[in-house]
A = this chain, B = another copy of it.
Amino acid sequence: MLDRSDPEGEITKAAAAYSNWGRWGEDDVLGTVNFIDEAKRREGAALVRQGVSFSLSQSFDTNGPQKGWRRRTNPVHTMTDTGLDAVHGGQGFPHGFGGADDVIAMPLQCSTQWDGLGHIFDHGNAWNGRRADRVVTSEGDLVTGIEHMAPHIAGRGVLLDVGRVIGTDGELPDGFAITEQHLTATVEAHGVTLGTGDIVCVRTGQLARARRDGWGDYAGGPAPGLSFTTAGWLHRTEIAAIATDTWGFEVRPNEFEDAFQPLHQVVIPNMGLLIGEMWNFEALAEHCATDGVYEFWLTAAPLPVTGAVGSPVNPIAVK
C-alpha cells in the first residue's frame, strides 16, 4: 500500500525498483523505445485489416487549454502571406502565381505531445544515470534530444479505454486513480494482449468531458490518470510507450500530500519510459467499441527539433 505521507520514500523505492539504467548500454538515448523491434513492427503492420486511419491528435491553436503556467501557452499561428494578399495585394509574383505562408510560436508540449527523455529529472538525474545539468542546458538536450527517436516510434498500438470499461458514460471522474487492476480489467474486457514494445493508449474520457463542458482546469487541474502504483506494471510489461488523453498522464491531484507528478519522476528519468499527453482517442475509441478490435498499427513520429525535451505529435492509428 502506498504511504501517502512519504512521497520521498515511495519515489525513491520505485525509482530503484523500476530502473532501466544501463539496460541498453551506458550510451543509450532511447529508453523504452528500444523495445520496439522489427518483429514488433511486422506484428503491428499485420493489424491493418481494414485500412481505416485515425488521427489521435488534438488541435493546435489559440483555443487550447493552456493557461500560461511556467510559460506553457497555447500556440500562436500567424500568416506571412494570405489569399487576400494574393488577390488584392501586390505579392509581386508573375503570371498569376499567388501564395500563402505561415509561422507558429508555441511550447513544444502545448497540445498532443511526447515527453522527451530530457523532460523530467529525479534528484538531478536524467535518463540512464546522467546528471541533468550535463544533459539539458540553455542550448537544449545535448544527449537525449527527441530527434534521436525520430525514426523509431512506429509499431503495435493498443487502446485501453478505461473510461468506457470502468467509468460512467465513458468517462472517469477527475482525481480517479487508474490502478494496475483497472488496466488489467480493461485489457481483458477488450480481449487484447499487451506485451513488450507495445504503444499503449489509455483513454480516460476527460477530453470528451472538456469538449462538452469547456476546458476549465484541463491544463494542470484535477484529472483522472495513472496511479503512482502502476509504476511496476509500466516497468514489468515492457511497453515502449504510453499516452493519455489528459494533460498530465498521472492522476491529479497526485496521490501524496505535497508532491508533483511523482510517477513522471519515476518513469521518465529512471525507467526511460516514453510518455504522451493530450492525445485524442475519441474517434478511435468509437471505432474500437463498434468492432471490438482494440489493437492497430500506430505511428507517432516526433518532430525532430534538435535538442528538444518534448515534441508535438500527430499520432496515426490504422486498423
Neighbour of A79 across the interface among B38, B74, B96, B136, CB < 8 A: B136
Q: Does A100 contact B (CB under 8 A)?
A: yes
Q: Any chain B CB within 8 A of the CB of A236?
A: no
Instruction: Establish whether residues B314 and A301, one from each chain, have CB atoms under 8 Å apart when the complex forms.
Output: yes
Determine how many copies of this chain the complex contains.
4
Q: Which residues 109-143 of A sit at the B interface, judged by CB distance below 8 A?
A: 109, 118-124, 126, 131-141
Q: Does A75 contact B (CB under 8 A)?
A: yes
Distance, CA A213 to CA B253, complexed state (A): 28
A11 vs B100: C-alpha distance when bound (angstroms): 19
Identify which of residues 278-319 in chain A touch chain B, using a CB-to-CB cut-off of 8 Å. 283, 297, 299, 301-310, 312-316, 318
Q: Give the chain B neighbours of A93 by CB distance below 8 A.
A: 260
Q: Are B83 and A134 in contact (CB under 8 A)?
A: yes
- Interface size bracket, A side: 35 or more
Centre residue among A80, A299, A314 by max chain B CB count within 10 A: A314
Residue of B at shortest CB range from A69? Answer: B62
Query: Which residue numbers of A lie inside 8 Å of B, CB to CB?
Result: 7-8, 11, 37-42, 44-46, 48-55, 57-63, 68, 70-90, 93-109, 118-124, 126, 131-141, 147, 150-154, 258-262, 264-265, 283, 297, 299, 301-310, 312-316, 318
